[in-house]
Chain A
């Protein structure tokens, strides 16, 4: 039997604050109160979500998903899932504040082989906000890995002039570990918008 998927709608402006708690934005913690995994380089990711004219998106929800430091997912779709870091979740969520700002903590992801290709280390970000009738999905890369980035099959699909907008920028240290900046521009024309993906 076949069932068509349900239509998507906007998350609206009122996503409950109680659904986003401290440490929900830490991808390295598998549960509330669990210590973060230490199998990898601890990183912080900071950014802002903005819309037309650069105005802040308030109470937008950003969710992050990535492989562990060795490029594995603890999920049956990964042939190496049994080897994945059991103390690393790879998922987190954050709500934007009055300035549109969000923050994640994680471990530097590893790349992985996919068919004939190699995925460079990356983090998928999903943005949900008032006015977005479907979640917007993008993928951020790191400047540490220029050779892997050049061979990434997803980054290769992005118009060359827009690829730099998918690179996180180093921004000093936070709590002794490297910090990166990645801003999300939802609407701003061809020269400013973050590239978003669909499948």
Chain B
């Protein structure tokens, strides 16, 4: 694990603009007081060692949970690399993915929407990035789902990612979108990112069939964490 030793401020336009009109929780959960700017001390520059022992990794096939059991929906493969801001691979990062099923419903007690569950799809997996920073998941394309409330809208198909990298400041929680979906430009959450190029980086890229085979529709998605410049890796 190569820890970054430099954390630059967020470049302009990358952080979502909040609160988000129509997304009630951004009004009731976000602090009203400004965040207090503090220097990064050792606590922020460090992170847990060998976290895969705490959080077992290797659960990379959400679409086929057991022999002869295949989830409903378009079978897809999502793969990419975990990188830092210098485009260096980040090995040993814990990558968690969760998503709705093909009908747009989560396997979660809080999701009580009237859409079908799929007995063959739980929709969560966790892997460890390899020596080149690579990760990958076999899953299905999730369905869209509506956000309740007076200003309701439909969330486009999306996949949630949580990444635990080499330092506390590398912690990333984000979402991946699918290219060309007509709901993308209508999504209040995606559109809260001011910079168009930054939004585009949240959209996966279709991968030519020659690279994944015909069993799975392939998407590429790189997870770029905060932080630059290596200090020597721990022996």
Contacts and interface: CB of A to CB of B under 8 A. Distances in A.
Interface of A: 1-19, 24, 29-32, 34, 51-53, 55, 57-59, 63, 65-67, 73-78, 81, 89-91, 112, 114, 119, 122, 124, 126, 128-137, 139, 153-154, 157-158, 186-190, 193-199
A7 B16 contact: yes
B72 to A, nearest CB: 19
Nearest to A55: B28
Contacts of A194: 31
Give chain A's interface secondary structure class. loop
Contact of A77 (B16, B167, B199, B223): B167
Give chain B's interface secondary structure class. loop
B130 interface: no
A198 B46 contact: no
A136 B31 contact: yes
B120 interface: no
Which of A5, A59, A65 has the most chain B CB within a 10 Å cutoff?
A5
Contacts of A30: 50, 53-54
B14 A4 contact: yes
Given A76-B233, A81-B234, A19 B124 contact: yes
Contacts of A2: 85-87
B11 to A, nearest CB: 5
A18 B174 contact: no
Given A89-B48, A133-B192, A154-B41, A34 B108 contact: no
Contacts of B41: 114, 119, 153-154
Contacts of B100: 14
Contact of B111 (A14, A73, A76, A89): A14
23 contacts: A4-B198, A5-B11, A6-B225, A7-B15, A8-B174, A9-B175, A9-B202, A11-B173, A17-B109, A24-B54, A32-B56, A55-B28, A75-B234, A76-B1, A76-B231, A77-B45, A131-B27, A133-B18, A186-B30, A190-B33, A193-B32, A195-B33, A197-B35
Contacts of A128: 173
Given A91-B47, A119-B43, 16 more contacts: A6-B172, A7-B199, A9-B189, A9-B202, A10-B189, A14-B111, A19-B162, A51-B29, A66-B43, A76-B233, A77-B46, A89-B51, A130-B25, A153-B38, A153-B41, A187-B31
Interface residues of B, number: 87
B151 interface: no
A156 to B, nearest CB: 9
A162 B114 CA distance: 45
Given A32-B54, A199-B7, A6 B223 contact: yes
B3 A77 contact: yes
Interface of B: 1, 3, 5, 7, 10-11, 14-16, 18, 20, 23-33, 35-51, 53-56, 83-87, 96, 98, 100, 106-111, 122-124, 126, 160, 162, 167-169, 171-175, 189, 192-193, 198-199, 201-202, 222-226, 231-234
Contacts of A51: 28-29
A100 B87 CA distance: 39
Contacts of B226: 5
Contact of B38 (A31, A132, A189, A199): A199
Contact of A6 (B7, B162, B174): B174
A72 to B, nearest CB: 9
A113 B189 CA distance: 41
Contacts of B14: 4-5, 7
A102 to B, nearest CB: 16
Contact of B26 (A17, A91, A131, A136): A131
